[in-house]
Amino acid sequence: RCFRSQDCDPGALQEQTVAVVGYGNLGRSVALNLHDSGCKVLVGNIGDEYRTVAAEDGFTSCEIAEAVAGAEITLVLLPDDVIPDVFPDAIAPALRAGSAVCFASGYALAYGLVDPPAGVDVLVIAPRMLGDEVRRAYTEGFFSYISVEHDASGQAEPRLLALADAVGSLRRGAVALSAKQEALLDLFVEQTFGPYLGMALQTAFQVGTEAGLPSEAMALELYMSGEMARTLQAFADQGFFRAVGHHGTTAAYGGVTRLSGVDTEGMLAFFRQTLADIRDGGFAERLQQERDAGYPTLEAVREFTDSPSPITDAEQNLRKEFPVLRATG
Ligand code: NDP
């Protein structure tokens, strides 16, 4: 099922205060969007600089439990792996009977990492958009997956749709997808397509530069020029096969004839194995263990990505030469 603004009754949010818990990437955008849609917003965050930013943005900001207790709708916008720690003590006991709790990803619900009280509506609005882009896309809207996971009030769906519209999503559209499916879809694509794309980019850079191609030209070719990003956009605008068909003869012939050299069996096996591991909860279990151990794997990766590398050098040289390529974010 698909939903757009005309499917919602904005009255379903009337007189309701929304608590935005977590004023991070997505939390700030969502709070500002809700405010612009006329909602009364309370921000709940731990007492650090994010709470100060919320106050500077004009919001009443307080401890998480206080915000939840003062609201009819609570949006849980904490990092997925953090939610299981914060939810039982700071959120669940403060949720009022008849209120709603809404997550921005299916993760915590899909793997049974939270246990919302029975008298509360449980909703999911999972944007298909980066956190800060959710703010920029307020007027034109952005896609999201939405779901009612538990309807305690009998009004969960109108509430969900009104909330999705107030956040800005329904101006573009939302698709109904359960928390379990949303989590599987999101994790599956980022753990299969993502690593292949990243590895293909690094391997092409390595082999090309080994053969004497300038590293700056390799970076420009692979992503810095924006041609690759536009190619992906053309898949959306024209259709995947049509856009591929629009490539010139040389690119089309070269690409197609190299397909037979791709290890599709290996790729299929990797994708299927990864999907099964995510679906069975193996990945979620390891992620929570990683958090409990203080993120040793992520620390090691950060050390690696922060250290000097030929790719980073090439990017910096290009940025120096072409100010239009200045780093953002
Ligand atoms: P962030 O990493 O930006 O963190 C969100 C907030 O959580 C911050 O205010 C942070 O405060 C707070 N926080 C972190 N640790 C704790 C803790 N132990 N106790 C209390 N508060 C804590 O998260 P995102 O905005 O990226 O993600 C939020 C949700 O939105 C997730 O469910 C994610 O899957 C979903 N989502 C995110 C998107 C994105 O592009 N970012 C897109 C679509 C969905 P502090 O840093 O001060 O600790």
- This complex has an ipTM of 0.96
Q: Which long-range contacts (CB under 8 A, 24 or more apart) does 219-222 make?
A: 219/311, 219/314, 219/315, 219/318, 220/318
Closest ligand 1 atom to Cα of 86: 19
Gap from CA of 293 to ligand 1 centroid (Å): 19
Q: Does residue 90 contact residue 64 with C-beta atoms inside 8 Å?
A: yes
Q: Whose CA is nearest to atom 43 of ligand 1?
A: 127
Q: Whose CA is nearest to atom 20 of ligand 1?
A: 46
CA–CA distance from 272 to each of 259, 284, 289 (Å)? 20, 17, 23
Predicted confidence at residue 48, as pLDDT, reads: 85
Predicted confidence at residue 326, as pLDDT, reads: 87
Predicted confidence at residue 9, as pLDDT, reads: 92
d(CA 83, CA 131): 17
The distance from CA 221 to its chain's CA centroid, rounded to whole angstroms, is 27
Q: Does residue 201 contact residue 223 with C-beta atoms inside 8 Å?
A: yes
Q: Which long-range contacts (CB under 8 A, 24 or more apart) does 132-138 make?
A: 132/25, 132/28, 132/29, 132/329, 133/29, 134/26, 134/29, 134/30, 134/33, 134/167, 134/168, 135/28, 135/29, 135/32, 135/33, 137/168, 137/172, 138/32, 138/33, 138/36, 138/168
Gap from CA of 253 to ligand 1 centroid (Å): 45
Predicted confidence at residue 212, as pLDDT, reads: 98
The distance from CA 295 to its chain's CA centroid, rounded to whole angstroms, is 20
Query: Which residue ranges does the chain devote to CATH 3.40.50.720?
Result: 2-177
The chain-wide mean pLDDT, for the chain, equals 96
Gap from CA of 26 to ligand 1 centroid (Å): 7
Specify the CATH superfamily of domain 2-177: NAD(P)-binding Rossmann-like Domain (3.40.50.720)
Question: How close are the terminal C-alpha atoms of the chain, in Å?
Answer: 35
Tell which one of 23, 25, 29 to mutate to probe ligand 1, the residue whose CB is within 8 A of the most ligand atoms.
25
Predicted confidence at residue 313, as pLDDT, reads: 97
Read off the tokens for 269.
Answer: 């096996």
- Could you tell me how many helices (H) and strands (E) the chain has, helices first? 17, 9
- pLDDT tens-digit map of 150-190: 999 999 999 999 999 999 999 999 999 999 999 999 999 99
- Report pTM: 0.94
Which stretches in the chain have pLDDT values below 70?
329
